[in-house]
Amino acid sequence: MAEILIQREHNLGMEKARAVAAQWHQEAEADWGMDCTYVANETNAQGEVQDRLNFERAGAEGYLLVTANQLTMKLELGFLMASFKDKIEEKISSNLDKLLA
C-alpha cells in the first residue's frame, strides 16, 4: 500500500474550515466516486475540537481532519492505485490549495 499525507495550515477558523471540508466532500463524491461519512465535534489528542471526513472507494480509503487552524488528509492507496500515487497527491494538493485560497 502507498500512503499520502497532506497537511495545510490555515487561519480560517472552524466554521470556514468546515465549509472547505464540505466543498471537498461534494467534489470527492461527485468527481471521484468516494463514499464519505462526516463526523463533527470530536476531540483530538491535543484537546482541540476537530471534524473527521472519512472516505473510501475501491482501491483507496482515508480521512480529512478539520481543525480551526489545520487540514490533515491521509489517504491509503491499494496495490493497483499505488502506481498513480504522485499524480493523485498532486491533484489532491492542488485541489485543497484552491479551496483554501
- 61 burial (CB, 10 Å; 0-12 / 13-18 / 19+) is middle
Unique residue bearing C-alpha cell 479551496: 99
pLDDT at 101: 87
pLDDT digits (tens, 9 = 90+) for 22-60: 999 999 999 889 999 999 998 888 888 899 999 999 999
Domain boundaries, the chain: 2-100
What does the block give as the cell for 55? 472516505
Digit-coded pLDDT (tens) for 71-86: 999 999 999 899 999 9
The whole-number pLDDT of residue 1 equals 78
| CATH H-level, domain 2-100: superfamily | YwmB-like (3.30.2030.10)
Rounded Cα distance between 84 and 51, Å, is 28
Nearest to 53 by CA among 89, 44, 62: 62
User: DSSP letter at 68?
Assistant: S
Residue 4 pLDDT greater than 90, yes or no: yes
- The x, y and z cell numbers of residue 38, run together, are 462526516
The grid coordinates of residue 64 equal 480529512
pLDDT digits (tens, 9 = 90+) for 83-99: 999 999 999 999 999 99
